[in-house]
Structure 1
Amino acid sequence: MAIELVVFDLAGTTVKDNKDVHRVLQLALAKHNVNISIEDANAVMGIPKPVAIRELLEKRYSGTRAIDEAWIDEIHKAFVHTMIDFYRTDASVGEKTGVSETFRKLKDSKLHVVVDTGFDRQITDPLLDRLGWKKANLIDASVTSDEVKRGRPYPDMIFRAMELTGVKDVKRVAKVGDTTSDLQEGNAAGCALVIGVTTGAFSKEELAKEKHTHLIANLHEVIEIIASVA
């Protein structure tokens, strides 16, 4: 059955990420005297950041303060502020090799291209503006974790992407991402293709533990994979 929609993750999959998100999350928690390692941060990549912050607090905070929504929101606001500034101004921000070309070829083949993310809309819009994909008509839409009831690993963002593009059958959807939660999201939705990118947050060995249809090192491989199931 031919694919009609491809849903790509952002940081680590289509956007360069030299553990930048990890470090900002680490810094936001450190301001509250909660120390996490890069490995701790990596374990929660891909999921909604307030959920990630709660998990990290529960794992690493040993004090007496209650881990409540007010505290999580305070940390999350600091994370959001720093990420927005980073994506607007840092010289390292950009797409991974071959992304625009891959998007363009998919669009030329009359496929819908949507990006989804564990970020909220406040962070995502400055990043997308910086990348220029919307202006170049390389993506049809974007879906953020705060726009659905449940973020990854749940399928809600994929279903929202289908609504935005008018795709009715999830068996005509491919999900592409670099984290285990991306693969879990694609499987939960029932996507025909669940493709892990091994050059992001998780290694090939880590991604291989999750159910998937393909593991790839370069994003342009998506084009051939989709062509093979047309």
Structure 2
Amino acid sequence: MGIKLAVFDIAGTTLHDESNVALVLQQTIRLAGVEVTIGEVNEVMGYAKPYAIRHLLQLKNDQRFSEEPFIQELHARFVHDMKAHYATHSSVREKDGVSAVFAALQEKGVKVALDTGFDRDITNVILERTGWQKNGLVDAVVTSDEAAFGRPYPYMIYRIMEELEIRSIQSVAKIGDTVSDLEEGTNAGCRYVIGVTTGAYTVDELKKGPHTHLVASLDELLSIF
């Protein structure tokens, strides 16, 4: 059975990222009066951002991690700042060759989907900026607030499969740049779980996660599939 669906992460995988997400999330935690390092923030890249905020506060023994209104307040600030970044910053662009890879996969009969640790508000700004959906290069998009649980749970992938009428998980590939992406694909049972080494995590860091392949460039997928 060949691959019929490729599910891609966004920031760091298909969208160029200069640690912008990590820096904004670090600043969000600082608003709570808590200092976290970029290394600590990178460990929760890929996860739904309310979960990431909660985890980082708990990591620093801040008891407010259990206060849902406080978590939502911080998340609202994160969403505001990320939307502003993706709407206006000159560095926002797709990674080299992404549109060409999407088109090549579709020509081979592979549906292209995105799933993300962002919520729908941030994701819509990215889709508008890149034009992927408008240009017909993406067949489905699911965000972390549209599933019961985000990564590392498999539910965003299953929701995409349902929407696109993909029958078997063995015809699905998951591609992402964080360990949470790899865990999501593995938990879903994807045939291929592919780590992208030019994003938030290094090769050595990604090797610690469950995977079938590691790639530096998305055009390597065309030969893998």
1:36: how far off? 1.0
Which residue of 2 is the match for residue 135 of structure 1?
Answer: 134
Which residue of 1 is the match for residue 111 of structure 2?
Answer: 112
Are 2:27 and 1:27 equivalent residues in the alignment?
Answer: yes
Correspondence list, 1:151-230, <5 A = 151-226=150-225
Which residue of 1 is the match for residue 48 of structure 2?
Answer: 48
Correspondence list, 1:7-156, <5 A = 7-62=7-62, 65=64, 67-156=66-155
Q: TM-score normalised to the size of structure 2? A: 0.98
For 2:66 and 2:170, the matched residues in 1 are separated by 40
For 1:23 and 1:49, the matched residues in 2 are separated by 13
For 1:28 and 1:203, the matched residues in 2 are separated by 24
Q: Deviations over 1:10-34 (max 9, x none)?
A: 0000001110000111111111211
Letter in 1 for 2:107: D
Aligned residue-pair number: 225
For 1:90 and 1:8, the matched residues in 2 are separated by 23
Distance 1:57 1:5, change over 3 A: same
Pairwise CA RMSD of aligned residues?
Answer: 1.0
Task: Describe the SS at the equivalent of 2:109.
Answer: coil
For structure 1, the residue ranges without an aligned partner over 5 or more in a row are none
1:40: how far off? 1.1
Does the 8 Å contact 2:143/2:156 carry over to 1? yes
Does the 8 Å contact 1:13/1:197 carry over to 2? yes
For 1:5 and 1:208, the matched residues in 2 are separated by 24
For 1:45 and 1:136, the matched residues in 2 are separated by 28
Task: Describe the SS at the equivalent of 2:14.
Answer: coil
Distance 1:157 1:65, change over 3 A: closer
1:67: how far off? 3.5
Does the 8 Å contact 1:57/1:67 carry over to 2? no
For 1:99 and 1:90, the matched residues in 2 are separated by 19
Does the 8 Å contact 2:65/2:71 carry over to 1? no
For 2:42 and 2:65, the matched residues in 1 are separated by 24
For 2:210 and 2:71, the matched residues in 1 are separated by 31
% same residue: 50
Letter in 2 for 1:7: V
Q: Deviations over 1:51-98 (max 9, x none)?
A: 000000011255x65641011001000000000011001110010011
Task: Describe the SS at the equivalent of 1:220.
Answer: helix
For 2:182 and 2:116, the matched residues in 1 are separated by 13
For structure 2, the residue ranges without an aligned partner over 5 or more in a row are none
Q: Deviations over 1:160-207 (max 9, x none)?
A: 110111101000000000000000000000000000001111111111
Task: Describe the SS at the equivalent of 1:215.
Answer: strand
Distance 1:66 1:218, change over 3 A: closer
Distance 1:155 1:66, change over 3 A: closer
Q: Deviations over 1:92-144 (max 9, x none)?
A: 00100110000000011111000000000011001111000011100001010
